[in-house]
Amino acid sequence: MAEERKKGLGRGLSALLGDPQVPVSPPPVVAVESAVPSGPLRTVPVEWLQPGRFQPRRVFHEEQIADLVESIRDKGVLQPLLVRPLPDQSGRFEIIAGERRWRAAQRARLHQVPVIVTDLSDREALEVALVENLQRQDLSALEEAEGYRRLMEEFSHTQEELAKAVGKSRPHVANMIRLLALPEPVRGLLDQGALTAGHARALLTAPDPVGLARQVVAKGLNVRQTEKLVKSAEKTGAAPSRRSEPPPRDPDLVALERDLTDLLGCRVSLCPQGKGGELTIAYGSLEQLDDLLSRLSHRPEGNDCRD
């Protein structure tokens, strides 16, 4: 049964989440059949929900949220959120799919949102969250790659199994995961949208990916021109200097950054310095900053931020 669920995730997600063309305000209590176990459709107060630990999105673009807020004010939440119960917090739920709708609903001053309550394992929760965002083409290349990495490392997926679970080809999954090997400055340009995934793949074999990436951005080169630039650099015999490569980051530090990003809804960077360090929180607008301050000031009682 578990194998059947995993194979059906990519094809059955739209059935699970409901028809986006049909408004749900308020939804009737009906059974929902899908490729993964699900419960009835219902409405719950927005304060009963919290962001999911397996949300692959790291950045929520404020202009997209603003557009969604206007749509929700006009038509309501057209598609229910997918949630699962929090085992240690009675009456509260973790969002598996639909965090952006939840954020927009709060800004639209809705008190309740439609949800489908389902019982998913951690692996299934990450798979569904990843597939839902991939189907909407909402993820950046690095967010997609990081989602694949987590499924492989945390839940022992092979690339072949992962490709089937998310409805992608194995070469696509392999190519995306390779992007995580790029130096941090190049990943930063990719996250900012200054480079595309095509640019990044071309730079993977470059002798000086950081320097060439900056050239690509400065000159506005397309992917084909970037490939030629890399080949030209390789012909000069310039070998990558291992001394210039930054040391590998502490996996515990990376995991903590991810957990803080999930908890606060803003990208968090940690930079150790001696016995201490710096914590940087990136926000896209004053509205997002206000939301962050609200989260820090009014965390619900008993809502432990630790996993």
Query: Do 34 and 114 lie in a common domain?
Result: yes
Domain presence at residue 167: no
Domain presence at residue 272: yes
Query: Given pLDDT bands bounded at 50, 70 and 90, which one contains residue 128?
Result: confident
Query: Greater confidence, 162 or 69?
Result: 69
Query: Do 11 and 75 lie in a common domain?
Result: yes
Host domain of residue 213? 182-239
pLDDT tens digits, residue range 21-42? Answer: 333 333 333 223 333 445 678 8
Q: Examine the fold and report which residue of 214, 239, 264 is the final residue of a domain before the chain moves on.
A: 239
| Predicted local distance difference test score (pLDDT) of residue 158 | 84
Query: Do 79 and 203 lie in a common domain?
Result: no
Note if 99 is an active site residue.
yes
Query: Do 260 and 208 lie in a common domain?
Result: no
Tokens of 168: 């992608």
Query: Do 19 and 107 lie in a common domain?
Result: yes
Question: Given the DSSP bridges, would you call strands 93-97 and 112-117 parallel, antiparallel or unpaired?
Answer: unpaired
Please report, for the domain that includes residue 77, its CATH number.
Answer: 3.90.1530.10
Give Cβ neighbours of residue 36 (< 8 Å, ≥ 6 apart). Answer: 5, 8, 9, 12, 16, 118, 120, 124, 128
Q: Examine the fold and report which residue of 77, 104, 136 is the final residue of a domain before the chain moves on.
A: 136
Please report, for the domain that includes residue 225, its CATH number.
Answer: 1.10.10.2830
Query: Do 79 and 107 lie in a common domain?
Result: yes
> 3-state class of 97 per DSSP?
strand
What's the rounded Cα separation, in Å, for the pair 11 and 17? Answer: 12
Domain presence at residue 109: yes
Give Cβ neighbours of residue 298 (< 8 Å, ≥ 6 apart). Answer: none
Domain presence at residue 158: no
**Domain total of the chain:** 3
Query: Do 81 and 40 lie in a common domain?
Result: yes
Over range 50-76, report the average pLDDT.
Answer: 80
What pTM was estimated for this model as a whole? 0.49
pLDDT tens digits, residue range 241-292? Answer: 444 455 667 777 787 888 787 777 777 888 877 777 888 887 767 777 777 7
From the candidates 4, 70, 99, 227, which is the catalytic residue?
99
Q: Give the least confident one: 16-30, 38-52, 64-78, 248-262.
A: 16-30
Closest CA to 302 of 143, 68, 103, 87: 87
Query: Do 199 and 81 lie in a common domain?
Result: no
Closest CA to 144 of 103, 180, 186: 180
Residue 63 has pLDDT above 60, yes or no: yes
Mean pLDDT, the chain, integer:
76
Residue 3 has pLDDT above 90, yes or no: no
